[in-house]
Amino acid sequence: MTDRILELSAHQFDVLKEISNIGAGNAATALAQLIKHPIKMTVPAVQILSFDEVANVAGGADAIVAGILLEVSGDLQADLLLLLPWSQASSILAILLDQKTSSFHDLDEIEISALEELGNILANSFLTALAKFTKINFLPHVPSLAVDMAGAVLNLPLARLGESVEQALVIDTKFHKQRQSVDGYFLFIPRPKDLEKFLHNLEVVSR
Domain ranges of the chain: 10-202
Which pLDDT does position 62 carry in this prediction? 93
177 secondary structure, DSSP code = E
Please state the length of the chain. Answer: 207
Q: 4-29: per-residue pLDDT in tens?
A: 456 666 766 777 888 899 999 999 99
The rounded distance, in Å, linking the Cα atoms of 110 and 195 is 36
Report the interhelical angle of 10-35 vs 109-134 (nearest 10°): 140
Fold of 10-202: Chemotaxis protein chec (3.40.1550)
- CA distances to 6, 104, 113, 165, 198 from 2, rounded to whole Å, are 11, 35, 37, 9, 18
Give the pLDDT of residue 64.
92
pLDDT at 6: 61
With residues binned 3-state (H G I as helix, E B as strand, rest as coil), the percentages for the chain, rounded to 5, are 45, 30, 25
Helix residue spans in the chain (DSSP H): 10-35, 51-57, 86-97, 109-134, 150-161, 192-202
The string of pLDDT tens digits covering residues 54-70 is 888 888 999 999 999 99
pLDDT at 186: 92
- Rounded CA-CA distance 167/190 in Å is 8
